[in-house]
Structure 1
Amino acid sequence: MATLLGPPDVEALVVVALKAGLAAPAPGLPVGTKVANPRPKEFIRIELFGGTEETIISDNCSIYLEAWAATAARAAVLLQLARAVLKDQHGVLFGVTTIGAPSHSPDPTTAQERYRALMGVRVRYSALT
């Protein structure tokens, strides 16, 4: 039987890449797919938004990348750091692009400062087990 290929867990891969890449410039910064409870003062959140099958061995996924902080300036810096980490991926994740430029988007419920960008993340398929 042929090896079956499919996309890996993109959100998990992005979280791992961001945690590793942000460890030096932003030590201890929480990164995840949900807002933690209790809510941290600063954090990065990603959300898989969709995407397309690019080839028979890759997808081009769309993710929201969000940086939350006490000030808009700090949220903007965190978002730029996270974007740089993703754009430096050259393995299973690769060819990261910005689809929607960073925008200031404070949370309407909590008024916590937030910057967001829509990113295109290409991902190579791997063997399904």
Structure 2
Amino acid sequence: MADMLLFPDVEALLCTWLRTELGDIPVGNKLPNPRPDPFVLVQRHGGIRHTVVTDAAQVGLECWAASDAEAHDLAQLCRALLLYRLPGQILDGHTVYRVDEVGGPSNLPDPASSMPRWVMELQVHVRGLAA
């Protein structure tokens, strides 16, 4: 019987990594109440097993800030970090092979509060580990 591979909790890996990269900016996979400004929400929206050893997790990022310009800049910073710095990193034993942009940053104010928010969708290719 072939070895089974288990894939990581990509939300948890990305939240931990982004917290380190962003410093004082809070990052999480659940929206706190009250929500701080600024704040980055990371949630897996699906994805597929791309190869025998890789998971292609589709991940949504939502970036809130006090102004449209600040929310935009935070989204662009997250975008640059994830697209250019994350590939090749080993997070909790899992290699991140590549990050693809599925939907670039979009201005989408929060429908509940009308606060400035920019959103994007990425695909994060991560290697699994033997069970």
TM over 0.5: yes
Aligned partner of residue 11 in structure 2, secondary structure: helix
The structural deviation recorded for 1:70 is 1.0
Q: How many angstroms apart in 1 are the aligned matches of 2:79 and 2:97?
A: 13
Q: How many angstroms apart in 1 are the aligned matches of 2:65 and 2:16?
A: 20
Q: How many angstroms apart in 2 are the aligned matches of 1:122 and 1:70?
A: 32
Q: How many residues align?
A: 124
Structure 2 residue runs of 5 or longer lacking an equivalent are 90-94
The structural deviation recorded for 1:82 is 1.0
Structure 2 partner of 1:117: 120
Percent identity over the alignment?
Answer: 40
Q: Relative to structure 2, which stretch is displaced further, 68-77 or 3-12?
A: 3-12
TM-score when normalising by structure 1: 0.89
TM-score when normalising by structure 2: 0.88
The structural deviation recorded for 1:101 is 1.3
Q: How many angstroms apart in 1 are the aligned matches of 2:129 and 2:117?
A: 34
Structure 2 partner of 1:64: 60
The structural deviation recorded for 1:97 is 1.5
Q: Deviations over 1:5-35 (max 9, x none)?
A: 2111111111111111112xxxx11100111
Q: How many angstroms apart in 2 are the aligned matches of 1:74 and 1:94?
A: 30
Structure 2 partner of 1:107: 110
Q: Does 1:96 align with 2:99?
A: yes
- Structure 1 residues 2 and 53 mapped into 2: Cα distance closer, same or farther (>3 Å)? closer
Structure 1 residue runs of 5 or longer lacking an equivalent are none
The runs of 4+ residues in structure 1 deviating greater than 6 Å are: none
Aligned partner of residue 73 in structure 2, secondary structure: helix
Q: How many angstroms apart in 2 are the aligned matches of 1:105 and 1:61?
A: 22
Q: Which of 19, 23, 43 does residue 39 from structure 2 map onto?
A: 43
Structure 2 partner of 1:16: 16
Q: What amino acid does structure 2 have at the position aligned with 1:75?
A: A
The structural deviation recorded for 1:85 is 1.6
* Contact 1:17–1:86 (8 Å) recurs in 2: no
Q: Which of 85, 92, 116 does residue 81 from structure 2 map onto?
A: 85
Aligned partner of residue 55 in structure 1, secondary structure: coil
What's the RMSD between the two structures over aligned residues? 1.4
